[in-house]
């Protein structure tokens, strides 16, 4: 195989690509680098931050729960004239609490369920009351691919999709004495 260049009289050199010595055009191999570049151009869903308690308010010094929904995505694309199947999976989550703190997890978190211990959740306690914070979540995806139905190979590298920030008001609870 050799790379062929051609310069027309008085013109600019043209790269005519790789050719086999027998005259056939060689097809470049699909590499992890090419697949990662294509993966970065694929539109992945924006992760949505789900907060409990709901309603855009939480209490100071109270466990506020976070979770998101992220699923494995299967796509087929064409690269260099070949079909490339992609299996794109969420691998890690960076939770931006909105108060300059972050938390990284390998799970998307879960919705509150009575009886589960607090360490089952992705939670954060805010220490300042009467402020509005803007938490968000970023999801990093890994992928594996196969070319024309061959065996699966892992893509070296990840693609991160940032989610939009949401408003969360931190309030202070006040005790009220109720008579009988």
Return the pLDDT at 19: 63
Please name which of 42, 44, 26, 46 lies closest in space to residue 77, comparing C-alpha atoms.
42
Please name which of 55, 139, 80 lies closest in space to residue 104, comparing C-alpha atoms.
139
- Report how far residue 96's alpha carbon sits from residue 166's, in angstroms, rounded to the nearest whole number: 11
Please provide the DSSP assignment of 140-168 as one string: EEEEEEEETT---EEPSS-EEEEPPP--E
Under 8 Å between Cβ of 176 and 167: no
Please name which of 71, 81, 84, 64 lies closest in space to residue 133, comparing C-alpha atoms.
64
- Report how far residue 75's alpha carbon sits from residue 88's, in angstroms, rounded to the nearest whole number: 8
What residues does each domain of the chain span?
1-28, 31-171
Global confidence as pTM: 0.79
Return the pLDDT at 91: 96
Under 8 Å between Cβ of 113 and 152: no
CATH of domain 31-171: 2.60.40.10
Return the pLDDT at 150: 92
Whole-angstrom distance between the N-terminal and C-terminal Cα of the chain?
93
Tokens 């989550």 correspond to 93
Under 8 Å between Cβ of 135 and 96: yes
- Report how far residue 69's alpha carbon sits from residue 87's, in angstroms, rounded to the nearest whole number: 17
pLDDT one digit per residue (tens) for the chain, 180 residues? 666 777 878 777 776 766 666 666 556 788 888 899 999 999 999 999 999 999 999 999 999 999 999 999 999 998 888 899 999 999 999 999 999 999 999 999 999 999 999 999 999 999 999 999 999 999 999 999 999 999 999 999 999 999 999 999 999 988 888 877
Tokens 């999976």 correspond to 89
Tokens 């466990």 correspond to 63
């Amino acid at each position: 195989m050799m790379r062929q260049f051609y310069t027309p009289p008085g013109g600019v050199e043209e790269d005519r690509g790789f050719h086999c010595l027998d005259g056939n055009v060689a097809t470049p191999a699909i590499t992890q680098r090419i697949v990662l570049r294509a993966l970065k151009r694929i539109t992945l869903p924006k992760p949505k931050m789900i907060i409990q308690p709901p309603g855009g308010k939480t209490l100071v010094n109270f466990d506020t729960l976070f979770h998101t929904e992220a699923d494995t995505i299967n796509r087929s694309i064409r690269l260099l004239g070949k079909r490339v199947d992609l299996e794109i999976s969420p691998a890690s989550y960076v939770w931006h609490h909105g108060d300059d703190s972050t938390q990284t997890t390998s799970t998307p978190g879960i919705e509150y369920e009575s009886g589960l211990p607090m360490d089952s959740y992705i939670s954060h306690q805010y220490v300042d009351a009467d402020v509005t914070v803007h938490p968000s979540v970023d999801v990093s995806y890994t992928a594996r691919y196969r070319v024309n139905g061959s065996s699966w190979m892992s893509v070296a590298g990840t693609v991160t999709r940032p989610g939009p920030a949401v408003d969360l008001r931190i309030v202070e609870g006040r005790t009220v004495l109720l008579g009988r």
